[in-house]
Amino acid sequence: MLKYIIPLLLFIILAVFLGLGLKLNPNDIPSPFINKPAPEFSAPKLNAPEQTLTHADLKGQVWLFNVWASWCVSCRAEHPILNQFAKQYAVVIIGLNYKDEPEDAKTWLKTLGNPYNVSIMDTDGRIGIDYGVYGVPETFVIDKKGLIRYKHTGPVSADDVQKIFLPLIAKLEAES
- Candidates 41, 30, 37; CA nearest to 142 is 37
Return d(Cα 68, Cα 80) in angstroms, integer: 13
Contact residue for other proteins among 95, 115, 128, 155 (CB under 8 A): 128
Contact residue for other proteins among 31, 61, 83, 123 (CB under 8 A): 31
Return d(Cα 152, Cα 155) in angstroms, integer: 8
State yes or no: residue 134 binds other proteins (CB under 8 A). Answer: yes
Contact residue for other proteins among 125, 154, 160, 166 (CB under 8 A): 125
State yes or no: residue 135 binds other proteins (CB under 8 A). Answer: yes
Return d(Cα 41, Cα 20) in angstroms, integer: 39
Min separation Cβ 72 and other proteins, Å: 11
Asked if 83 and 115 touch (Cβ cutoff 8 Å), the reply is yes
State yes or no: residue 30 binds other proteins (CB under 8 A). Answer: yes
Min separation Cβ 40 and other proteins, Å: 13
Look at the alpha carbons of 160, 150, 114, 58 in this order and tell me if their dihedral is positive or negative: positive
State yes or no: residue 131 binds other proteins (CB under 8 A). Answer: yes
Provide the binding-site residues for other proteins, judged by CB under 8 A: 26, 29-33, 99, 124-126, 128-135
